[in-house]
Amino acid sequence: MGLPSIAEKMAKQQKEIAVSEFFERNKQVLGFDSMIKSLIVAVKEAIDNSLDACEEAGILPEITVRIDQIDKTEYKITVEDNGPGIVERNIANVFARLLYGSRFHAVRQSRGQKGIGISAVVMYGQLTTGKPATVRSKILDRDVAVEMDLILDTKSNSPKVMRTDYVIWEGKPHGSRVAVAIKARYISGKQSVFEYLKGTALVNPHAQITFIDPSGKQFVFKRATDVPPAPVIEIKPHPEGLEIGALMGMAKITKSNRMSIFLKNDFSRISDRVAKDILEKASVPPEKKPQTMAIEDAKRIIEAIAQVKIMAPQTDCLSPIGEVLIKKGLKNVLEDLKPSFYVQPVTRKPKVHSGHPFVVEVGMVYGGQIPPDSQVEILRFANRVPLLYQQGACAVTAAVENVDWRKYGLEQRGGKGIPFGPAVIIVHLASTKIPFTSEAKEAIANVPEIRDEMELALRVVGNSLRSHLAKGVRRSKIKEKFDIVQIVLPKIAEKASGIVDKPLPDLGPTITKIMDVVWIDDKVEFDKKRHSITIDIYNYTPTGKAFTLYAVVPAENLVLGGINPRPTEVKDGRIKWELKRIPSTEKATIKIELQGLDKDAYDENELYASGIDSERIVGAEPLPGDWGIAAAVIEGEEEKAPADEEENGVDYDDAKEDISNDE
Amino acid sequence: MGLPSIAEKMAKQQKEIAVSEFFERNKQVLGFDSMIKSLIVAVKEAIDNSLDACEEAGILPEITVRIDQIDKTEYKITVEDNGPGIVERNIANVFARLLYGSRFHAVRQSRGQKGIGISAVVMYGQLTTGKPATVRSKILDRDVAVEMDLILDTKSNSPKVMRTDYVIWEGKPHGSRVAVAIKARYISGKQSVFEYLKGTALVNPHAQITFIDPSGKQFVFKRATDVPPAPVIEIKPHPEGLEIGALMGMAKITKSNRMSIFLKNDFSRISDRVAKDILEKASVPPEKKPQTMAIEDAKRIIEAIAQVKIMAPQTDCLSPIGEVLIKKGLKNVLEDLKPSFYVQPVTRKPKVHSGHPFVVEVGMVYGGQIPPDSQVEILRFANRVPLLYQQGACAVTAAVENVDWRKYGLEQRGGKGIPFGPAVIIVHLASTKIPFTSEAKEAIANVPEIRDEMELALRVVGNSLRSHLAKGVRRSKIKEKFDIVQIVLPKIAEKASGIVDKPLPDLGPTITKIMDVVWIDDKVEFDKKRHSITIDIYNYTPTGKAFTLYAVVPAENLVLGGINPRPTEVKDGRIKWELKRIPSTEKATIKIELQGLDKDAYDENELYASGIDSERIVGAEPLPGDWGIAAAVIEGEEEKAPADEEENGVDYDDAKEDISNDE
């Protein structure tokens, strides 16, 4: 039968494989699956390293990327930064050993995490050109820079130093430079190095990036701000989403010798009281040694964690871009398309996946010269890194496809899939851990918690879009009537009464008969760093109208300068008025002053109304059904509602006037 | 400034990470990103191992998959096979060490290759439940089975054996069984374990799979054939697509001490003569020691390889499903949908990517109860394994999206994207190396060579679909006329001539005036394991017509029983006739007999014509523009064209008759 010898024969072939050999043979999981892409991957990994190092050291990044063509299919990529440099004894391992790095165990937002990226580039370079990589590094407390030629020995996953030299690096107090030759193809246009750098600049406005292309042409992406992102703080793991095996593993190696201390010290957001609650619910004695934790203990602790209220993770381990910079970035990058509308971006409150905090941010532009008949373009970013490939595999795409965009004014077959229309959507995920689908870090895995947050943020942006579009459509329909009652009718009345020498008739009943709507006319003016918003509410109906009005304002970087009349509530970037009855044919006016915003940060009012038939109001949309989800991120001091009055409805100071008296 | 201390501080945090720790923290790259998916991944990895082991040992697989619910979110998965078993000393490493396996270096088709799969499942089980996996194995030459409880120590990537026992395994001469508890969710319907097993059975008709679901219900997927797939042969790397670094690495460790011997012995398809050619072109002396190969030598050798004609790789390292079994499988699995048309599947000729041979196979069904208004469903398979997730990331999807399906009768906005219509497309990639986008093996990377082949295969299938649809449309349009000339007109003529007692008039001129087309009426009959094809060609035009006709027949498992008249050429599953002039109003008939096919394997003729205005012929499509690509895989002995006659055009033996004489 030959079977025993087969089991034995198979046994002889079973052996261990070095991780480097594995990745060398599966280079596509690192992103090296085409010559065009390989070039971008190499640039990306080097830049990620440079930006991370600069930010950790609190340095404003200055990065130069240079691409030289060596022959038909060989390019040399050189990336130089002004980071802190790498100490000599670690250079070889950092650049030529896979799974070697400093950020793997840290719970905080960073671009690189896995200790694979740049070493993988070095490995791919030597695989495709046979050449070593050259690394130069200078740290501040040494007089000279060190320069090495490095090879990664894939059979053993260890670096081989081919050459070490010490050199004077003119004008460089500290920094590093890596040069790698790889088989590649250089292109311009979409999914090119240039586009990649443009995207990087968009989400890293504090970085200055210089690009020298193969023809020697130089492009500079200037830094848009001299303020580096707030430094991210390393936190302990949050207990939410913890797995049994992970808990047991931590318990085994903890330095604490009581369960209660272990929970408090080794996790974030567990206080003495919370630890006590958890252990009580789990029926685990607080004095028990963590090292003796049994499976059943672990199981019950995990269950208890789900029942006990634990604070959301602190957010200083994250570095979201922010609503203001997203809008600014979009205006910068997409100005060629002259969009007619920049939807107010959304930065969501932090949530947790598998113990890791994350924040979702979404922006959108609409109209102008964006092709109206194509699929909506989706720009994806993770921890301030553009994602150019594998859109189809990404949770961002899944989230966009899951939203029924027909509700928000885009075309979409069956309410599923990527919508069509003149729009660009930008989605950024910031997290202490981005769950990429592969080591190539091209797509975010479809983790339900993350995808759900993205969908919610997209719906908020969708509501803004609908509000904008509906405004236009309904207004233009009724505009004609409005012109009649506002301009033509009074003029006719005036002339007519002049001719027949009779007093001006009361036009009110005629006007309300023609219009029969509450008409809201609003505008935004910007002057001396202030946005002045005026909302005129004309009651062109036969009866008095009282209803609730909401205005959406940016939740971020905002100082509310003055609101008149006083709102009922200000929360999460929403101002709410329970308006007093406006008599038929009369007008009410609301004035708001916003301070501290760039001109671009606010250019169109987004108004919603409730307590009034939506057919009877023009200029404010009905309150969205999913309005509850639109809670924005910041609840700053300046936004606290001045709710010291307990009256039902607010007063207008001087907003009353008879609107039938034209002008 | 603090910079030196930062570089030093960062240096202290830089350290190596075990590959197991890496994958534990990035479990989503292994496919563990949701509880539903985790269950399928676990089942899939265990089955892949069982099927591979059985096939290597030449055993017809009998596999039992059992899923037990332990508590709300914990399930135990047990997979048992009748494979050769694993020798005791290797069990721990095979099941609880990542990157340990027997198939990593072998160039031949297999499901598992990376030595990650089953160990990753064991790791994920212990992470989410804290429990070890239990493995039982019996090899033929031992009396007892060995059973072990195993844990993977993720800090060191090494197995820990918690228990070893020796047990009697009743009725099991050899085999293995693995049981793992994991956190998961069990569902039915799409992307369920049941669907996964159904797909597995579809592309592994030689395997018997029994499934016992959590409620204890048992399903058996019976084997459809007792013939195991031909054993795959391990080959040496093919030189096409070789990288410089890989060549230099091989040269360094070869046992050959002359370049010429090295090329001949260490690669497939390099003969003495080819080696000589390559080295001559590369200006590398044949007697040079490979161990001294310089980068420049390697570069020139790679360039020379691209210039020298090297045979395509042998295909006995591959195990495609085959056109017949694809069609059979589709009929089995999709019979509920009652498709109205099974497009003739295509098995392409082998091609090479990065030195690895591969074969693309495509099938398609159309109509029936397949939803007419949804996106076309795509079923993806790689090395006989169904791919359920990451469709958006897959080269298969990219290929489908790149084809302009509007040409072939499906709806598609802008000629890009997944088309809409009542169709299901099946794509199978067989290769000694599937370039998956991640370790989860869910999607095929977008490697240009592979995607191009898929597109070509899809176009061939698209042509068949168009041919089928066009036939229907044009026929139904002209059917009315046809009925008149075939049935009504002769009847009227007969009656009229009877009444007026005059001879039957010549209807020819009238008929050709009404029709003015060449009308092809064809049918397929099956009896006694033979397909009989009859093609009647009516010339309903005023002038004689000579043109070229093509019929497409399966290229696989086919014996051409007889063709009358003799064709001009038979090649790649296409029969070609240069038809002699058919006089106006006359008819020609072609008869073909096919043997050795299942009834289902051929049910509709696919006819093309050239040398005639396409408006003037009904029942045969114009030759497709991309016809050249449709070369199918097998050029069997029985298909050699009987081209012993050198006349221009073929004779009809007895096909002439006056078609104006009805019946």
Nearest by CB to residue A85, choosing from B7, B17, B139, is B7
Q: If pLDDT is split at 50, 70 and 90, which confidence band does A487 have?
A: confident
Q: If pLDDT is split at 50, 70 and 90, which confidence band does B600 have?
A: confident
Q: State the pLDDT at residue B628.
A: 53
Considering the domain architecture, whether residues B190 and B281 belong to the same structural domain is answered as: no
pLDDT digits (tens, 9 = 90+) for A533-562: 999 998 888 889 999 999 988 777 778 888
3-state secondary structure A519-588: EEEEEEEEECCEEEEEEEEEEECCCCECCEEEEECCCCCCEEEEEECCCCEEECCEEEEEECCECCCEEE
Considering the domain architecture, whether residues A166 and A81 belong to the same structural domain is answered as: yes
Q: Does A547 touch chain B (CB under 8 A)?
A: no
How many residues make up chain A in this entry?
663
Lowest mean pLDDT among A231-240, B553-562, B620-629: B620-629
3-state secondary structure of A385: strand
Q: State the pLDDT at residue A107.
A: 66
Q: Among A326-335, A370-379, A557-566, which range has the highest average pLDDT?
A: A370-379
Over residues B453-479, mean pLDDT: 84
Q: Does A250 touch chain B (CB under 8 A)?
A: no
In chain B, % of residues over pLDDT 70: 90
Q: Which is higher by pLDDT, A476 or A86?
A: A86
Q: State the pLDDT at residue B626.
A: 59
First to last CA, chain A: 105
Count Cβ atoms below 10 Å from residue B318 Cβ, excluding itself: 23
Q: If pLDDT is split at 50, 70 and 90, which confidence band does A604 have?
A: confident
Rounded CA separation B524/B592 (Å): 9
CA distances for B555 relative to A381, A578, B558, B594, B633, angstroms: 49, 78, 6, 11, 7
Q: Does B510 touch chain A (CB under 8 A)?
A: no
Alpha-helix residue ranges (DSSP H) falling in A387-447: 395-402
Quick one: how far is CA B564 from the chain centroid? Answer: 33
> Measured between beta carbons, which residues in chain A are less than 8 angstroms from residue B434?
none
Considering the domain architecture, whether residues B356 and B292 belong to the same structural domain is answered as: no
pLDDT digits (tens, 9 = 90+) for A53-68: 898 888 999 999 999 9
Count Cβ atoms below 10 Å from residue B143 Cβ, excluding itself: 8
Burial of A609 (0-12, 13-18, 19+ CB in 10 A): buried
Q: Directed axis angle between helix A35-56 and helix A193-203, to 10°?
A: 30
Rounded CA separation A485/A515 (Å): 8
Q: If pLDDT is split at 50, 70 and 90, which confidence band does B491 have?
A: confident
Q: State the pLDDT at residue A13.
A: 72
On whether residue B410 sits in a domain, the answer given is yes
For residue B565, whether the previous peptide bond is cis, meaning omega lies within 30 degrees of 0, is yes
Considering the domain architecture, whether residues A404 and A302 belong to the same structural domain is answered as: no
On whether residue B488 sits in a domain, the answer given is no
Q: How many CA atoms lie within 13 A of B58 on its CB side?
A: 9
Q: State the pLDDT at residue A654.
A: 37
> Measured between beta carbons, which residues in chain B are less than 8 angstroms from residue A97?
16
Burial of A337 (0-12, 13-18, 19+ CB in 10 A): middle
Considering the domain architecture, whether residues A216 and A69 belong to the same structural domain is answered as: yes
Over residues B614-622, mean pLDDT: 83
DSSP string, A53-120: HHHHTTPPPEEEEEEEEEETTEEEEEEEE-S----HHHHHHHHHSTTEESSSS-BS--S--SS-HHHH
Nearest by CB to residue A87, choosing from B7, B85, B243, is B7
On whether residue A192 sits in a domain, the answer given is yes
Considering the domain architecture, whether residues A213 and A264 belong to the same structural domain is answered as: no
Domain of residue A279, CATH code: 1.10.8.50
Tell me which of A468, A491, A510 is where a domain ends.
A468
Domain count for chain B: 3
Rounded CA separation B521/B483 (Å): 13
Structure tokens at A599: 């001109």
Nearest by CB to residue B84, choosing from A10, A99, A439, is A10
Q: State the pLDDT at residue B373.
A: 85
Rounded CA separation B162/B148 (Å): 7
Over residues B175-202, mean pLDDT: 91
In chain B, % of residues over pLDDT 90: 40
Considering the domain architecture, whether residues A284 and A410 belong to the same structural domain is answered as: no
Q: Which residues of A338-437 form beta strands (DSSP E)?
A: 341-347, 351-353, 356-366, 377-382, 385-387, 423-431
Q: Which is higher by pLDDT, A50 or B226?
A: A50
Q: State the pLDDT at residue B79.
A: 97
Q: Which is higher by pLDDT, B206 or A10?
A: B206
Q: State the pLDDT at residue B210.
A: 96
Say which residues have a Cβ less than 8 Å from residue B261's Cβ, sequence separation at least 6. none
Say which residues have a Cβ less than 8 Å from residue A212's Cβ, sequence separation at least 6. A64, A65, A66, A67, A218, A219
DSSP string, A279-346: HHHHT--TTS-GGG--HHHHHHHHHHHHHS--PPPPSTT-----HHHHHHHHHHHHGGG--SEEEEEE
| Minimal-distance CA residue of chain A relative to B104 | A17
CB contact under 8 A, A53 and B10: yes
Rounded CA separation B555/B324 (Å): 10
Q: What radius of gyration do chain A's Cα atoms show?
A: 31
Contact (Cβ atoms closer than 8 angstroms) between residue A629 and residue A549: no
Q: How many CA atoms lie within 13 A of A315 on its CB side?
A: 16
Lowest mean pLDDT among A278-287, A590-599, B418-427: A590-599
Q: Does B248 touch chain A (CB under 8 A)?
A: yes
Inform me whether the pLDDT recorded for A322 exceeds 60.
yes
Å between A18 CA and nearest CA of chain B: 7
Quick one: how far is CA A234 from the chain centroid? Answer: 20
Contact (Cβ atoms closer than 8 angstroms) between residue B299 and residue A72: no
For residue A565, whether the previous peptide bond is cis, meaning omega lies within 30 degrees of 0, is yes
Lowest mean pLDDT among A493-497, B27-31, B291-295, B643-647: B643-647
Nearest by CB to residue B14, choosing from A100, A414, A440, is A100
Inform me whether the pLDDT recorded for B217 exceeds 60.
yes
Structure tokens at B23: 């994958």
- Given the DSSP bridges, would you call strands A617-618 and A517-527 parallel, antiparallel or unpaired? parallel
DSSP character at residue A391:
G
Lowest mean pLDDT among A177-186, B256-265, B351-360: B351-360
Considering the domain architecture, whether residues A38 and A99 belong to the same structural domain is answered as: yes
On whether residue A300 sits in a domain, the answer given is yes
Considering the domain architecture, whether residues B158 and B261 belong to the same structural domain is answered as: no
On whether residue B162 sits in a domain, the answer given is yes
CB contact under 8 A, A7 and B295: no
3-state secondary structure B611-649: CCCHHHEECCEECCCCHHHHCCCCCCHHHCCCCCCCCCC
Single-letter amino acid code for the residue at A40? I
Q: State the pLDDT at residue A602.
A: 83
Inform me whether the pLDDT recorded for B590 exceeds 90.
yes
Q: If pLDDT is split at 50, 70 and 90, which confidence band does B5 have?
A: low
Quick one: how far is CA A133 from the chain centroid? Answer: 34
> Measured between beta carbons, which residues in chain A are less than 8 angstroms from residue B443?
393
Report chain A's mean pLDDT, rounded to a whole number.
84
Q: State the pLDDT at residue A646.
A: 36
On whether residue B272 sits in a domain, the answer given is yes
3-state secondary structure of A488: helix
Closest Cα partner for B41 from B184, B242, B138?
A: B184
Q: State the pLDDT at residue A121.
A: 94
Q: Does A60 touch chain B (CB under 8 A)?
A: no
CA distances for A497 relative to A493, A511, B652, angstroms: 6, 17, 101
Q: State the pLDDT at residue B102.
A: 65
Considering the domain architecture, whether residues A176 and A273 belong to the same structural domain is answered as: no
Say which residues have a Cβ less than 8 Å from residue A635's Cβ, sequence separation at least 6. A571, A572
Contact (Cβ atoms closer than 8 angstroms) between residue B71 and residue B131: no
Contact (Cβ atoms closer than 8 angstroms) between residue A566 and residue A578: no
Q: Does A72 touch chain B (CB under 8 A)?
A: no
Contact (Cβ atoms closer than 8 angstroms) between residue B150 and residue B158: no
In chain A, % of residues over pLDDT 90: 40
pLDDT digits (tens, 9 = 90+) for B48-68: 999 988 988 889 999 999 999
Q: What radius of gyration do chain B's Cα atoms show?
A: 31
Inform me whether the pLDDT recorded for A212 exceeds 70.
yes
Inform me whether the pLDDT recorded for A645 exceeds 70.
no
> Measured between beta carbons, which residues in chain A are less than 8 angstroms from residue B106?
13
Nearest by CB to residue A33, choosing from B3, B7, B445, is B445
On whether residue B518 sits in a domain, the answer given is no
Over residues B453-476, mean pLDDT: 86
Give the domain extent around B287.
Answer: 244-307
Q: State the pLDDT at residue A650.
A: 41
Residue B212 sits at φ, ψ, to 5 deg, of: -115, 110
On whether residue B590 sits in a domain, the answer given is no
Which residue matches tokens 């030459």?
A: B141
Count Cβ atoms below 10 Å from residue A503 Cβ, excluding itself: 6
Nearest by CB to residue A28, choosing from B19, B413, B445, is B445
Q: Does B119 touch chain A (CB under 8 A)?
A: no
Considering the domain architecture, whether residues A295 and A344 belong to the same structural domain is answered as: no
Number of A/B CB contacts below 8 angstroms equals: 247
Q: Directed axis angle between helix A489-500 and helix A508-515, to 10°?
A: 150
In chain A, % of residues over pLDDT 70: 90
Tell me which of B276, B307, B338 is where a domain ends.
B307
Q: State the pLDDT at residue A521.
A: 84
CA distances for B1 relative to A85, A90, B6, angstroms: 14, 22, 9
Over residues B508-514, mean pLDDT: 76
Q: Does B626 touch chain A (CB under 8 A)?
A: no
CB contact under 8 A, A140 and B3: yes
CB contact under 8 A, A139 and B4: yes
DSSP string, A143-201: SSEEEEEEEEETTTTEEEEEEEEEE--TT-SSEEEEEEEEE-----STTSHHHHHHHHH
3-state secondary structure of A209: strand
CB contact under 8 A, B34 and A248: no
Lowest mean pLDDT among A320-334, A642-656, B380-394: A642-656
Which residue matches tokens 């006359």?
A: B586
CB contact under 8 A, B90 and A14: yes
Q: Does A18 touch chain B (CB under 8 A)?
A: yes
Domain of residue B422, CATH code: 3.30.230.10
Domain of residue B53, CATH code: 3.30.565.10
Q: If pLDDT is split at 50, 70 and 90, which confidence band does A628 have?
A: low
Sign of CA dihedral A265, A271, A272, A277: negative
Over residues B597-622, mean pLDDT: 83
Over residues B533-548, mean pLDDT: 90
3-state secondary structure of A219: strand
Report chain B's mean pLDDT, rounded to a whole number.
84
Q: Which is higher by pLDDT, A320 or B640?
A: A320
Say which residues have a Cβ less than 8 Å from residue A27's Cβ, sequence separation at least 6. A33, A124, A127
> Measured between beta carbons, which residues in chain B are less than 8 angstroms from residue A154?
249
Considering the domain architecture, whether residues A205 and A296 belong to the same structural domain is answered as: no
Å between B158 CA and nearest CA of chain A: 11
pLDDT digits (tens, 9 = 90+) for B409-444: 999 988 888 999 999 999 999 998 899 988 888 899
- What's the pTM value of the predicted model, to 2 decimals? 0.75
DSSP character at residue B367:
S
Best residue in A19, A35, A89, A137 for a mutation probing chain B (most B CBs within 10 Å)? A19
Tell me which of A434, A451, A468 is where a domain ends.
A468
CB contact under 8 A, A435 and B57: no
Inform me whether the pLDDT recorded for B182 exceeds 50.
yes
Best residue in B15, B93, B296 for a mutation probing chain A (most A CBs within 10 Å)? B15
Q: Which residues of A423-528 form beta strands (DSSP E)?
A: 423-431, 517-527
